[in-house]
């Protein structure tokens, strides 16, 4: 039975079956999703993240996150407040911003589980390689919208799927914690549904403005 899309709650249709993993495409927002019954357990998911090589001094890692950090450094000043949502075991985004005198709070359900961080509003939010891990994207994007100050910006980095990509060979789906993948149409749906004033897409960087 095809699952309901966890973002827009619409019908999905079978998309691919790869290594006993069943992927579906939403008929409305066009997202690509793994069947929720095949998600990893929270315990296994945490173990998986601990194996990520998040060395905040690694030049390659710092360059990888630079679309987000350069965007925030350009758009905001150290006096603005920020949230690193899904910061993981070590965040290069936070390191770069801290090194430039910015104050940014870390939140992560596994490694920085501080609910008080989700009780205030921020001028900018960074989600670097995070949104593809969302099990409940409808709730999580609603939360992110609520956490933004008026005129605030949400910076997301992920690899969007598009029809010219050969999904069977696509590296991005090989990470077993990548359970919800987006297309440009999905991002437009998020903008319209949650009330963002605009969304800009530049390669892997997606920026929503409240």
**Residue 42, pLDDT score:** 86
Query: Higher confidence at residue 19 or residue 156?
Result: 156
Give the tens place of pLDDT for each residue, 91-108. 899 999 999 999 999 999
Interval 2-30 mean pLDDT? 96
Give the domains, in start order, of the chain with CATH numbers: 12-209 (3.40.50.150)
**Residue 56, pLDDT score:** 65
**Residue 49, pLDDT score:** 83
31, 22, 8, 21: which is closest to 185 by C-alpha?
Answer: 31
Give the tens place of pLDDT for each residue, 116-164. 999 999 999 999 999 999 999 999 999 999 999 999 999 999 999 999 9
CA distance 30 to 55: 34
Global confidence as pTM: 0.94
CA distance 49 to 61: 15
Q: Is the pLDDT of residue 78 over 90?
A: yes
Among 37-46, 69-78, 89-98, which range has the highest average pLDDT? Answer: 69-78
CA distance 151 to 76: 11
Interval 38-46 mean pLDDT? 89
**Residue 36 exposed, middle or buried by CB count within 10 Å (0-12, 13-18, 19+):** middle
**Residue 89, pLDDT score:** 86
Dihedral of alpha carbons 31, 154, 122, 95, sign? positive
**Residue 1, pLDDT score:** 86
Q: How confident is the model at residue 62 (pLDDT cuts 50, 70, 90)?
A: confident
């Amino acid at each position: 039975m095809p699952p309901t899309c966890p973002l827009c709650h619409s019908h999905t249709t079978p998309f691919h079956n790869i290594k006993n993993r069943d992927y579906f495409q939403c008929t409305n927002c066009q997202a690509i999703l793994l069947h929720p019954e095949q998600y990893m357990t929270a315990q296994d998911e945490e173990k998986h993240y601990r194996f990520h090589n998040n060395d905040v001094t690694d030049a390659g890692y710092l360059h990888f996150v630079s679309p987000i950090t350069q965007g925030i450094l350009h758009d905001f000043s150290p006096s603005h407040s920020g949230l690193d949502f899904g910061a993981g075991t070590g965040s290069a985004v936070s390191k770069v911003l801290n090194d430039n005198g910015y104050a940014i709070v870390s939140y992560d359900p596994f490694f920085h589980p501080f609910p008080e961080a989700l009780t205030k509003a921020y001028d900018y939010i960074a989600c670097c390689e995070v949104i593809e891990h969302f099990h409940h994207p409808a709730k999580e994007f609603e939360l992110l919208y609520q956490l933004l100050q008026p005129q605030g910006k949400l910076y997301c980095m992920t690899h969007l799927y598009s029809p010219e990509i050969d999904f069977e060979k696509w590296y991005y789906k090989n990470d077993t914690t990548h359970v919800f993948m987006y297309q440009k149409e999905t991002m437009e749906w998020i903008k319209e549904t949650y009330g963002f004033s605009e969304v800009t897409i530049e390669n892997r960087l997606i920026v929503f403005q409240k």
